[in-house]
Amino acid sequence: MLSLSAAALLSLAGCGDGEQSLGPSPSDTEDQAPSQAEGEAGGSAALDSVKEKTQAAMDSASEAGSQAMDAISEAAGIAQDQGATLTDSAKAEAQTLIERAQTYLEENNLDSAEGVMEQLNALKDSASDTLRTEIDQLEEQVDTLREQEDN
């Protein structure tokens, strides 16, 4: 047991060579200094790379958004043109029906005039104010003639 204690003391004494170390020795710090500088430079380069990639992604997203807005604007313009074409077409159709109804009224053909008035009333919601007024006037004429015929 005495020999075991003596061996333990000798091994402890031999490990430190009598010096106690509380941190890295100056030679250790000098060896690490260049690698820390290299690490910082590498970290800075990595950060720059991330910044560049982030900026590229933001630029790409901005361009995509711009292209989407252009496409939406173009589609809206096309829809507006088509709406105007449909309105012109509906206006022309309504005008033709109004003329036909007037002709039927002049001929005292109330049944045909009433059939045309049904078609005009279907178009009335999409017609301009001027056409609505004409349709309403025709409807009054048809009603008046129908009452006269019934009496």
- What confidence score (pLDDT) does residue 149 get? 82
Which tokens belong to 143? 């009603």
Does the predicted model carry a pTM greater than 0.85? no
Mean per-residue pLDDT pooled into runs of 10, the chain (151 residues): 47 48 49 53 80 89 87 82 68 90 90 91 84 91 87 75
Q: What's the CA dihedral at 13, 17, 18, 20 to 10 degrees?
A: -110
Q: pLDDT tens for residues 94-123?
A: 899 999 999 998 998 989 999 999 999 888
The rounded distance, in Å, linking the Cα atoms of 145 and 149 is 6
